[in-house]
Structure 1
Amino acid sequence: MQSQMTPKRPLTLRLAAPRGFCAGVDRAIQIVEESLLKWGTPVYVRHEIVHNRHVVERLEALGAVFVEELDECPDDRPVIFSAHGVPKSVPAEASRRNMIYLDATCPLVSKVHIEAERHYANAREIVLIGHEGHPEVIGTMGQLPEGSVTLIETVEDVATFAPKNPDNLAFLTQTTLSVDDTAEIVAALQARFPGISTPHKEDICYATTNRQEAVKALAPGAGLVLVIGARTSSNSVRLVEVALRAGAADAKLIASADDIDWSWFDNITTLGLTAGASAPEDLVQGVIDACRARFDVTMQAVKTADETVTFKLPRVLAG
C-alpha cells in the first residue's frame, strides 16, 4: 500500500461493456433461487450451475447442494440441471425415478441440441467444434446415440477427419468458443467439404461474441488485461486469448481481486478489465476498489454493444 505522503501513481482503467453475467447465466441462477423459495431446502444441482465458485458458494449458503451425478440425489427432492446442458440420459433417469427436475440449460445451448437432432433425423454425419470434456460438449454429444457426433478441436483435426460420407455433413459449435479460432476451423471444414451444412444462425452465443468484441476494443495499448472468471469457464479462458491476440502486452485470468499479484502492475499505465459470462459484478467492483486503493485511477468505459436479451423461467416457477 502507498503511504499517505506518497502520491498514488496514475492508472487508466479501461472497463469492458458488455461483461459478466449473460442472460443464460442469470436464468440458471434464478432457477436455483426460485426453486429454493418454492420447495425449501435442500434443492440439488447436478454440476456447478455455472462455472464460478463465488456463485456456487452463495447458492450453497442458501441451501443448494451441488453434486456430480443424479445417483447422489434423493428421489424426493428437486434437482436442477446446469446451464451447460446434459445428455438425454440424465432427464430420462430423473423421470424413471419420478423426481422433480428443472432444466437450467441455456436456451442457446438447447438450440444447438435441436440442430443436432435435426441433422441426425436427416441422416447427416455431424461434426461438433468444441473442447473435449467440457460439460456443454458432453451434453450436446449426449443428445444422440454414441458415435453420431465427431468432435473437432483444431484446424489440424479437420485435416485428419475421415467422414463416412463427405457429401452429407453438418457442423455445430460449442457456444462459448473463440469467434476467431472457430472461424478458422469452419473455413478449413468448408474448404475440405464445400457442401457441409452450416448452422441457420451462428452457434457461438451473442454474449460470448459481445464480450470478445469488447476485449478486442480495450486490449490495444493495454499493458495488462485482467479477466475475472474461473479456469473451468470456457468463455473466460477465451477472453484472455482474445486480449493477447488483440494487442494487450499481457493478460491474466483471475477468480477475484485476491488473485492479483501487484508486481504485475510495476510498469503498467493502462489496465483493461472484463469478466466472463458467469462472473458476478461484485467481483469486478472488488478489482476496481483494490486498484483505487493503490493507484490514482481514471476510469474509461469501453462499450461495444447493448444487451437486452432475457430468457423466461420454466413454467413451474413462473407462477
Structure 2
Amino acid sequence: MAQPTATLRVVAGDAVLLLERRFAADPERVWRAVSDPAELARWFPAAIDGDLRVGGHLRFTFSEDPADAGDGGEGQVTEFEPPRVFGFLWNRDALRFEVAPDGTEAGGTRFTLTHVAGGGALGRVAAAGTAHGWDTCLAALEDLLEGREPEAAPEAASDRLAAVERYVAEFGLDEGTAVTTPDGYVVSFTRDLLWTPLDDAWAALTGGGEVEAATAPPVGAVNDDVGAGPVTEADPPRVLEYTWTHEGAAAGTVRWELIHDPELGNRVELTQTVPEHLGSVLPTALAAWHTHLERYFAAVNGDVRGPWPRERAEELRGRYAARLG
C-alpha cells in the first residue's frame, strides 16, 4: 500500500510534522516496537535509555561506543499511556507516537508520529530533511513489523536528494521574501544544507579556490540575472559578500552566509539589498536566487547541473511578480 507523505504546519511559531502509517501488525505488536528501547534501536535514529514514566529522564545515543553514551542529547517523557501513547522531549523537540486500531476486520494498526521541531522559524527550514529522515525510519519500522531485515545498503545520494527536494517544494521552503527597509528592500532566502560540513558547502560555492576582497566573486556565487561586482568580504567557510551591479553601476550587496547549528544542521542564508528606485528588479532577483539555490543545494549534494535554466527562472519571475503585485 502506498504510504502518505509527511505534512507540515506551523503552530505557535513552531514547525509541526505529522506522519501517519497503517501497518498490518496488531496494535499490541506496534506498541512494543515503538516503546521498547531494544526494538526502538532497530528503527529509531538514536538509542534511547531511561525511565519510561511521565517525567522520566531519557538519554539519546548515536554512537555504538559506550564512551559516547548520551551523544544525541537528553529528554524527558511527557506522556506514557500503554498501549496507546508515548510522548517525549528530545533536546528542544517534542515527539509523540500514537497507536490505534485501524478499524479494519484484519485488525491492523494506525500509527501517527507527531514531531514539533524546536527553534521556531529555523526548525521549519530543516523540515524537509527531517521529514525524509522519518520516512526512512518508518520504512525500517515497517520492515521490523513484517519480519524483514532492513535495507543494508545506504540510500543513494540521488534518491535522497530527490526526496528532500520534493519536500522542500511541497512545504514552500524554497520561497524567498522581499522586505521593505528605510533604504529600499532586502531579498532574503534561507535554505537547509542538511548536515553538509561547512567546508564542503563553501567548496561548492567557491569551486575550492581562494576568494579575496576586491576580486571577482567565484562563479558558483553568481548567476546570469544579477550583475556581479567585486568581493567586499570573504571569511571562509562562512561569509562571502560582493557588490551587485545594475546597468554597470554598483547597486547593493549580495551576501552568502553559511551557518552551523549543532541541533538543526547547517544552512545557507542569502540576502541581496535593493535600493528603493530599483524596486522593479525584485521579481527578477527573487527568481534568480530561488533558481540559484535550487542548483546550489543539488551541487552540495553531489549533483552539479548544467547551464542556467532560463525557462525555470522565467517561470519563477512570473510567480514572484504576481505575488508582489
Q: Which has the higher helix share?
A: 1
User: Highest relative contact order (Cα 8 Å, sep 6+), 1 or 2?
Assistant: 1
State the structure with more CA Rg. 2
- Using the size of structure 1 for normalisation, the TM-score is 0.23
